[in-house]
Structure 1
Amino acid sequence: MLVIAGLFVPQPQLAHLTRNFLQIKRQFNPGFAPAGAHWLDLAKTEIKGADLRHDLRHAGRNRRRAVNRFLDKVIQLLEDTGAQLVARIYVKGPGCRFDGRAVYTSSVQSLCATFQHFLAAKDSRGFMVADSRTPALNSTVSHSVFTQKFKATGDAYDR
């Protein structure tokens, strides 16, 4: 399964969302940065979905509860800031060939188009940040979005 997701955040809410997410992150993971550490130190430490899933399945009761409370607070923060989640999900059939690079690239282009339509409906402007697990995928996705943005027939993502 391949899941590519995007999060649309209203610009006026971005600083609020960032500060509050870092507070939630510190609350549920106090070991990520020592007390009094700069917010950047906390921001640089990632929370991996695989670790959360592992804790939900295999950790003790207190850790499972903490992970559920963390997720509840993050979802509440996203709702409170008016953030919207969009995603593309691809399920590979058993024994079927799956070109992950092509699917990943077309998925990101699809999310760019969805974002473009969202911004047009709001008569607004925005920007995307895309990041993958590997520099090679980053390069491929950057190239695919660049060619859409600067194609000879016009900018596909003019918002």
Structure 2
Amino acid sequence: MSKLFIICGISFAGKSTLGKKIAQQFGYAEVDVDDTKTHLYGPDIQDEALCRDDWIRIYAETDFLIEHYLQAGKTVIDASRSFQKEERLQARHITTRLGAEIVTIFVDTPEAIARQRLLENRKKPLRREVTDKDFEATLRAIEPPTIDENPLVFHYGDDVERWIAQNISALC
């Protein structure tokens, strides 16, 4: 059965890093709203230049890509959004409609560590820039998964390889 892994947490929590490690280890596909944004609007597009309709299009295109992978029987990872429960419910609707399984992972990283990573990224960029305004917005918007979402939790400091072996290997 194909699966959709949604990995949520605040910016710079380590969502993408965890998602990439899982994808590499098991050969899963990955989607990312920033990749979709770049594909649609070019590499120089700034978030501030996008209107609400642009973001709706970006999310719809990313959802379409998820559906494409799931319909092809592939497992896919989205570590680029799902800050709010409504977003995770949308992902659940997609998987239910397609007869796929959803796995929710919450990356629980302290805000202070995420802020430190944000500042380090500004000195030596390893990923796209996140403004202070956008970082603060994600802190206000985050709705950690609730018990009814049956989330797996990756805590800051967990050994990634061991965590994957204990939590993900059994699902594959």
- Give the TM-score normalised by the residue count of structure 1: 0.32
Structure of higher CA gyration radius: 1
Could you say which structure has the greater relative contact order, defined with CA pairs below 8 angstroms and 6 or more residues apart? 2
